[in-house]
Amino acid sequence: MTPSSLADLISALPEGDGWGPPPVTETTLNGVPYAPFSKGDKLGRMADWTADSKDGRDGRGGRQQYNRNYRDQQIYGAGSNAIFTAPVAEADENTFSVVSRETTKTRYGRGAVFTRGRGQRGARQDTRGGRNQPQRPGRGGSQGYGYDSRGGRNNAPRGRRFGWKDYDKPTRNRDASINIKADWQLLEEIDFNRLAKLNLDADEGEDIDAYGFLYYYDRSFDKQPVKTAERRLVPLDRAAYNVTTSSDPVIQELADKDEATIFATDSILSMLMCSTRSIYPWDIVIVRQGNKIFLDKRDNAALDMVTVNENAADAPADASDGNKDGINQPNALAEEATYINHNFANQVVLENETNKVEMTHENPFYNASEETEPPASKAYKYRRFDLSTSEEDPMYLIVRTELDAVQKNAISGDDQFVTVKALNEFDSKAQGSGGALDWRTKLVSQRGAVVATEMKNNSVKLARWTVQSILSKADVMKLGFVSRANPKSNDKHVILGVIGWKPKDFANQMNLSLSNGWGIVRTIADMCLKREDGKFVLVKDPNKSILRLYEVPAGSFDEDGEEETVPETVPEEE
């Protein structure tokens, strides 16, 4: 072969500026090749180098699980990646055949039917360790004991299981417990993470004075009820009072004597001390007069109501959130729980005028000439706590605490003070039940599980009750378990049992820190003491874990103003 000159080689090159085969206009856009696609396809990747891997597996040896999200692209242009691959010998191409181009309908996610695995080796999948087809209970699945495909017990009575794919669940927007007006000045904004780090050790407290009287607790309620004879909750008309701090004549008298710097009731103080556990909105009115701080509440305030399943992962929904069951909405459940607690405390005492414990003074709020109902068994103890951080800066707090009954110690025979509260069950299968067990069948056999579920779903409510019991120095806290006689009706209830705890032991079980609560109280008080005399409002944000402190003009909560704001906040109480 004669050698060619350089000029011959150059003259043999094709004409044009580029090199390689000529471009094809069918699969190019301005000279750039692209993969054909349909307008209905989901474009997931700019370049996919794993689509045509060997035998349908990805480069790591696993199956192409991502195809579940892009399986619609298998219809048009599915083989277009061949444009970007290297040429294959024609002999290899002839050995390849397409079986089907139709898409296969595969169920993915919960309740999916998979037919691969060891179970394909034979029909005895149940005995040879093969994988059965998981079925959802209640839809043709097995109703016996065992676990379903999501790890839950098949026989467990429940509604929808939450926790899987809840990231796309729409957030609930709650309304504030009070209308924030334009002339209110925002002073502080504190998130719960900062509040949870506060810490202040306080003393056990000392008694200043005691008012009212107590009946003895009926120990027959502690016994396990007979299934054939359930004990009904009986409504009793007894005069009970929930007077705010500044309207209490005893506190006013103690304030005039300069007995303390901060004054509050146990209901208000417990809400503030347990604020980091709260979910629903609430507000506290703070009044500074001279060097004194009064923690007050508004009439018909949200913190007067007993909430239900406030801390549940799927709390009871409002009508705006699609809950059509009126009696299971947060407002209706709160009214029902408040009604149950009032009547339960009156029913579990033995009303005997000759056998009761009288305090030093009579009930300061009861007026026999005006009241038609007899007074309820209630003792008000005014107790003082030392919140000083140094001897040079003393600060004391006086709180009005409440006791509900008294009982004899089974060993020593001494009187023990008792607080009485009631948990209520509305419907273990309804939305918002928080995965609670059926109390009628599980309270005796699985008491620990029932109590643990209530600690989770009603963390803030139980924490407040425990704090109130510790503040009053109660020896025992009685928790009643009250359920509806019929889950579809909220006007008749039965008492299923009563369990007693020592308040401090119960606080340890709940991981409740009183020193953190005292730190929150002292911090809020210091914020107000730095300001001039006036009125402040501490508001829990309805949708965020934030407390906001506002300074409000004088007269914002007078009688005229209350008439305008209360009707707007009534449906928002939870």
The per-residue pLDDT for 170 is 55
Q: What are phi and psi of 551, to 5 degrees?
A: -100, 125
Alpha helices in 473-558 (DSSP H): 503-509, 514-529
The dihedral sign for the CA sequence 341, 347, 349, 351: positive
**Stretches in the chain below the pLDDT threshold 70:** 1-3, 14, 16-171, 226-228, 321-322, 557-574
Tokens 């090749």 locate to 33
**Amino acid (one-letter) located at 26:** E
Residue 288 amino acid letter: R
- Name residues whose C-beta falls within 8 Å of residue 181's C-beta, 6 or more positions apart in sequence: 552, 556
pLDDT of residue 561: 40
State pLDDT tens for residues 394-420: 899 999 999 999 998 878 888 899 999
At residue 411, φ and ψ (nearest 5 deg) are -100, -55
Interatomic CA distance for residues 275 and 194, integer angstroms: 12
Helix, strand, coil percentages in the chain from 3-state DSSP, rounded to 5: 30, 20, 50
- Please, is 130 exposed, middle or buried when counting C-beta atoms within 10 Å of its C-beta (0-12, 13-18, 19+)? middle
245-254 own/partner pairs: CB under 8 Å, 24+ apart: 245/294, 245/295, 245/296, 245/297, 245/400, 246/287, 246/294, 246/296, 248/364, 248/400, 249/364, 250/209, 250/211, 250/364, 250/380, 250/382, 250/400, 251/294, 251/382, 251/398, 251/400, 254/208, 254/382, 254/398
Instruction: Provide the residue type at 298 as one letter.
Output: R
Q: Chain-centre distance of CA 227, in angstroms?
A: 33
Question: Token pair of 179, please?
Answer: 């209308």
Q: What is the pLDDT of residue 3?
A: 66
**Burial of 537 (C-beta count, 10 Å sphere; 0-12/13-18/19+):** buried
Pairwise CA distance, residues 235 & 412, whole Å: 34
Q: Name the β-bridge partners of 33.
A: 28
- The span from the CA of 189 to the CA of 186, in Å, is 8
- Cα(353)–Cα(536) distance, integer angstroms: 44
Q: Which two tokens stand for residue 62?
A: 């696993």
The encoded tokens of residue 552 equal: 């409000």
pLDDT by residue (tens digit) across 8-52?
877 777 676 666 666 666 666 666 666 666 666 666 666 666 655
pLDDT of residue 265: 93
| H or E element that contains 264 | strand 262-265
Provide φ and ψ at 486, rounded to 5°: -135, 125
Rounded to whole angstroms, the Cα distance separating 211 from 16 reads 107
Would you say 284 and 295 are in contact if contact means Cβ atoms under 8 Å apart? yes
- pLDDT the model gives residue 33: 66
- 10 Å CB burial of residue 92 (0-12, 13-18, 19+) is exposed
Angle, to 10 degrees, between the axis of helix 266-273 and the axis of helix 459-471? 130
pLDDT number for residue 390: 84
Burial class (CB in 10 A: 0-12, 13-18, 19+), 48: middle
CB 330 within 8 A of CB 307: yes
Give me the residue label for tokens 């691959």.
85
* 97: helix, strand or coil: coil
Tell me what pLDDT residue 250 has: 93
Q: 264: which strand partners?
A: 399
Per the listing, tokens 């020193």 go with 515
How many whole angstroms from its chain centre is CA 410?
38
The DSSP bridge partners found for residue 289 are 292
156 alpha-carbon distance from chain centroid: 22
* pLDDT at position 286: 93
CB 551 within 8 A of CB 187: yes
For residues 95 and 568, give the distance between their C-alpha atoms in angstroms, rounded to a whole number.
77
Q: Strand locations in 329-475, DSSP E? A: 349-350, 356-358, 378-386, 396-403, 405-408, 415-425
Whether the CB-CB separation of 381 and 361 falls below 8 Å is answered with: no
Task: Specify the pLDDT at position 145.
Answer: 39
Which of 336, 269, 345 is closest to 309 using CA atoms?
A: 336
Closest to 45 measured CA to CA, from 28, 22, 19, 66: 66
CA dist list (Å): 14 to 10, 353, 369, 444? 9, 119, 118, 93
